[in-house]
Amino acid sequence: MKDYINKIHYNEADLTWGGKFLFVIFSKFYALVIIIRNFLYKLNIIKKHKLPAFVISVGNLTTGGTGKTPVTISLANYISETYGKKVAVVSRGYGGKLSNDNINLISNGEQILSTADQAGDEPYLIAHKTKNVIVLTGKNRVKNAQFAINEYNVDVILLDDGFQHLKIERDLDLLLIDLKKKFGNNKLLPMGPLREPVQSIRRADKVILVNKDDQDFSKDDYKYSSYINKTFDKKVYLCSFKYADIYNIQTKEPINSSIENLYAFSGIAQPEYFFDYLKARGFNLLKELVFTDHYNYKKDEVRIMLEDASELGAGAIITTEKDMVKILPHIKRMSTEVSIYALKLDLDLDMDSLLDGFVAK
């Protein structure tokens, strides 16, 4: 069902007349709620909280992945390492089993205190790939951010997926747009993928256009960058996903160049980027398994994949780093002859320019 709705959002499937009527009605109601909410914040009828730290929000306008988590990880590490600032990432913790009513300390900057299953895949991945960075989850982000400031003397708060979270004032509001998918059919939920109208781009301080297919930017990409800049009067930054090493999730060793046949699986918002990259790199994918975004793998499911890959004669199993953190606890308790690898993701983004003026705060 989720996959079908996603296809509707991106003009790859059609609704029945009755379904279209219902979706339009719900979209109109959703639009009214969003407009009223934003208007109340703008008039300061609903109060915003000003925190004693530099607040950076990383968010988008659509459902699904636009690269928020990789950008958040890169920002956290860059600010911590380059400027020597104490950083905390505050996330909603979607998909985690910990109660969102609590302040959940996922990482204290030195060690990870929860499992991926408890924390949610994205907060756990942030904790796994950052150093000296506090990571917290919970629905009350004001309380979580204040906790990080009080208990860990945090200088910088990163709001992961924070564009729609207007309760906290931010010093830098970063809005990500997928260069390939953009805004789909340009309609609001549930008729389309938009969480709020495209005009909300005006609320952002800077816009990051994300190229997720590991290809050079095209002329159309540069034209779209110019369009966003001129239409919304925003500084626009181009960001490329650079797929780097493929490494063994247990030994960390790189994949053997003799391996050609792979058994691939993924539970991310846009798995086609992952599979397409592997094929472009020359790998033969014996199987492409797609799970829902934020999928929590059970031990038996991992065991079945291992057996299936072995029967198909796969040289290795490969997945994303986001999925890797969730299957690793199961793998450690199993014996298998099939090695499992993860595809490392890096970013090419001008951090110095993006963070211009941040130190002055």
Per DSSP, the chain holds a count of helices (H) and strands (E) of: 11, 12
CATH code 3.40.50.150 for 54-241: no
Q: How far apart are CA 105 and CA 189, in angstroms?
A: 32
Query: Measured between alpha carbons, how far is 30 from 191 in angstroms, rounded to an integer?
Result: 10
Same fold for the domain at 54-241 and the one at 243-347?
yes
What residue segments make up the domains of the chain, in order of their start? Answer: 54-241, 243-347
Looking at the domain 243-347, which fold is it? Rossmann fold (3.40.50)
At residue 359, the pLDDT reads: 61
The C-alpha angle 270, 93, 239, rounded to 5 degrees, equals 45
Rounded to two decimals, the pTM is: 0.94
Pairing, β 156-160 against β 133-137: unpaired
Determine how β-strand 284-290 pairs with β-strand 316-320: unpaired
Q: Which residues pair with 157 in a beta bridge?
A: 55, 88
Instruction: Give the C-alpha separation, 239 to 348, whole Å.
Output: 6
The single residue listed with the structure tokens 């299953």 is: 117
pLDDT tens-digit profile, the chain (361 residues)? 777 888 899 888 888 888 899 999 999 999 999 999 999 999 999 999 999 999 999 999 999 889 999 999 999 999 999 999 999 999 999 889 999 999 999 999 999 999 999 999 999 999 999 999 999 999 999 999 999 999 999 999 999 999 999 999 999 999 999 999 999 999 999 999 999 999 999 999 999 999 998 789 999 999 999 999 999 999 999 999 988 899 999 999 999 999 999 999 999 988 999 999 999 999 999 999 999 999 999 999 999 999 999 999 999 999 999 999 999 999 988 888 899 999 999 999 999 999 997 764 4
